[in-house]
Amino acid sequence: MARPPVFDTEINRAPALRISNVVRGRVNEDGRVRYLVDPDGKGDERAIPEDVVLKRWRRRVMTGHTFHGCRLGPNLWRAIANAFGTDAQAISRMNTKQIDDGRENLHRDRNKHFLWLPDTSTVMEIFGFLGPVRLQTVLDRHLHPDRNSNYGTPDLFLYARKSGTNEPAFFRLVEVKKPKERISKDQHEEIEFLRSIGVPARVLRLIERQD
């Protein structure tokens, strides 16, 4: 059987995450693979691959910084457009109440049940880190009628804030892959696109250990 292609988006491991991608204690529960969250295999806390990476990021220690993040849905950008419109400049000026209202209206619309957004504070972080120019470029790409069946949005939005001032420090968009899981063409092209507009995006492939 031919091996799946290895895209350059995986070979290029920048930006750095400074967390371990080694996983241990694999089990299958409810049709999902779960690993021990602790990179050394300590304890009994397990999670699916995306949550393992998210938990490790949140526990990262770096002087003067706190670490945060969330999982992203494949329809993130379409959900943003449905909740807040397509004008990134106007979206970036929205306050907490406006974002709250947009999220609530989206979630109440049963015809759009497949669209969901992270909590309000995280949505604001996404807007803040991207800025209106990059946000507009992403929205234009994902809302183009020729891309109705294309997805590829990375699994995780990870970011750090300065602990003294709570100012934004840096962020990452990360696609998490199990050891033998293939990267789809959409995922590869999305990461390549994000990098082309200055968004720090990458693939993180987990490495299993049996010890």
Q: pLDDT of 187-196, one tens digit each?
A: 999 999 999 9
What is residue 102's three-state secondary structure? helix
pLDDT the model gives residue 149 = 87
Distance, CA of 44 to CA of 46 (rounded, Å): 6
Q: Using the 8-state DSSP alphabet, how is residue 164 labeled?
A: T
pTM of this prediction?
Answer: 0.93
Query: How many other β-carbons are positioned within 10 Å of the β-carbon of residue 131?
Result: 12
pLDDT in tens, the chain (211 residues): 445 556 778 878 889 999 999 999 999 999 999 999 999 999 999 999 999 999 999 999 999 999 999 999 999 999 999 999 999 999 999 999 999 999 999 988 877 778 999 999 999 999 999 999 999 999 999 999 999 888 899 999 999 999 999 999 999 999 999 999 999 999 999 999 999 999 999 999 999 998 7
Cα-based distances in Å from 71 to 28, 93, 168, 196, 199: 21, 24, 19, 22, 17
Mean pLDDT (the chain) is 94
Distance, CA of 44 to CA of 53 (rounded, Å): 16
Distance, CA of 88 to CA of 132 (rounded, Å): 5
Cα-based distances in Å from 2 to 11, 96, 184, 186, 206: 19, 50, 15, 20, 21
Nearest Cα residue to 75 out of 20, 112, 49: 112
pLDDT the model gives residue 8 = 74
First to last CA, the chain: 29
